[in-house]
């Protein structure tokens, strides 16, 4: 392969590596923010579970207050029962006692229901807290990995940029100018492989047979007539010898 072509391929590889590094560096803050958003959701789940438990406990206290009211009403009726004079009064008082007892029973049932509910809600709180702790651990690890990755990518970017600068100074300026012109016009990709069946792998246009012949020699700068990218060719590996087994 001609040194010019080889250098341009190398330049393209460096350009692509630089572009990829920049893309990853730019994506870093969003990846951190995504991890933090997941943590915030786990915290919200804990808060919501605690809120449900609190509401249930408040409802239970209300029911207990109500039960206390029925209790005192009931004992008042029982006190009055001994003081009634007539059978009619006695029956009326009995009726009052029955009603209050029923009401008390119903409120006490509510208290028990709320207690059972609180057990389930307490378990929910614990579950969400465990999930939060696990998520916290995951996210700490993830952020550490992301930070390490960022440092690696930044180092790779620095290295590729330095190599690119060195390479460019060693190339003929018109060659660099051609590369940069095509690169700008083609979203950073100035070089394309010619496929074995004679297509430009970037724009998929078929090369003229004579052009393809020339590209296959890899000894000059040839641009795709359609996308202008500089073409090169990788010959197929030599056919492997069929395996022979000796008896």
The region of 19-27, 87-95, 174-182, 192-200 touching Zn ion under the rule CB under 5 A is: 192-200
End-to-end CA distance of the chain: 43
Comparing CB distances to Zn ion, the nearer of 64 and 214 is 214
Q: Give the nearest distance from C-beta 134 to Zn ion in angstroms.
A: 51
Comparing CB distances to Zn ion, the nearer of 77 and 179 is 179
Q: Mind giving me the DSSP string for the chain?
A: --HHHHHHHHHHHHHHHHHHHHHHHHHHHHHHHHHHHHHHHHHHHHHHHHHHHHHHHHHHHHHHHHHHHHHHHHHHHHHHHTT--SHHHHHHHHHHHHHHHHHHHHHHHHHHHHHHHHHHHHHHHHHHHHHHHHHHHHHHHHHHHHHHHHHHHHHHHHHHHHHHHHHHHHS-HHHHHHHHHHHHHTTT--EEEEPTTSBBTTT-PBPPHHHHHHHHHT-S--B-TTT-PEEEE-PPPPPPPPP----
Comparing CB distances to Zn ion, the nearer of 49 and 224 is 224
Q: Give the nearest distance from C-beta 1 to Zn ion in angstroms.
A: 19
Residues 199-218 interacting with Zn ion (rule: CB under 5 A)? 200, 202-203
Tokens of 90: 């006695």
- 227 in contact with Zn ion (CB under 5 A): yes
Comparing CB distances to Zn ion, the nearer of 50 and 186 is 186
CB 85 within 8 A of CB 126: no
Comparing CB distances to Zn ion, the nearer of 105 and 188 is 188
Q: Give the nearest distance from C-beta 9 to Zn ion in angstroms.
A: 16
Q: Give the nearest distance from C-beta 193 to Zn ion in angstroms.
A: 10
x/- letters, 151..190, toward Zn ion (CB under 5 A): ----------------------------------------
Comparing CB distances to Zn ion, the nearer of 51 and 201 is 201
Distance separating alpha carbons of residues 37 and 40, to the nearest angstrom = 5
CB 220 within 8 A of CB 1: no
The residue within the footprint of Zn ion, chosen from 224, 230, 232, 233 (CB under 5 A), is: 224
Comparing CB distances to Zn ion, the nearer of 166 and 220 is 220
Q: Give the nearest distance from C-beta 218 to Zn ion in angstroms.
A: 17
Q: Give the nearest distance from C-beta 197 to Zn ion in angstroms.
A: 14
The upper half-sphere exposure of residue 29, i.e. CA atoms within 13 Å in the direction of its Cβ, equals: 2
- 106 in contact with Zn ion (CB under 5 A): no
- 226 in contact with Zn ion (CB under 5 A): yes
Binding-residue total with Zn ion (CB under 5 A) = 6
Residues 20-39 interacting with Zn ion (rule: CB under 5 A)? none
User: What residues line the site for Zn ion (CB under 5 A)?
Assistant: 200, 202-203, 224, 226-227
């Amino acid at each position: 392969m001609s040194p010019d072509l080889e250098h341009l391929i190398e330049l393209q590889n460096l350009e692509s590596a630089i572009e990829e590094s920049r893309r990853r560096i730019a994506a870093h803050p969003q990846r951190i923010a995504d991890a933090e958003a997941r943590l915030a959701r786990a915290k919200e789940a804990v808060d919501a579970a605690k809120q449900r438990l609190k509401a249930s406990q408040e409802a239970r206290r209300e029911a207990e207050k109500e039960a206390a009211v029925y209790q005192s009403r009931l004992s008042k009726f029982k006190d009055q029962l001994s003081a009634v004079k007539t059978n009619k009064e006695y029956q009326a008082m009995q009726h009052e006692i029955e009603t209050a007892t029923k009401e008390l029973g119903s409120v006490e049932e509510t208290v028990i229901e709320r207690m059972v509910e609180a057990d389930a809600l307490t378990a929910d709180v614990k579950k969400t807290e465990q999930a939060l702790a696990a998520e916290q651990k995951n996210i700490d690890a993830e952020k550490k990995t992301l930070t390490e990755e960022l440092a690696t990518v930044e180092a790779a970017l620095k290295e590729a940029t330095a190599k690119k600068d060195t390479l460019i100074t060693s190339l003929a300026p018109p060659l660099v100018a051609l590369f940069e012109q095509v690169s700008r016009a083609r979203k950073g990709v100035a070089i394309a492989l010619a496929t074995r069946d004679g297509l430009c792998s970037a724009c998929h246009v078929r090369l003229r047979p004579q052009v393809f012949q020339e590209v296959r020699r890899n000894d000059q700068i040839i641009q795709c007539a359609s996308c202008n990218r500089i073409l090169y060719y990788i010959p197929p590996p030599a056919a492997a010898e069929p395996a022979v087994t000796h008896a």
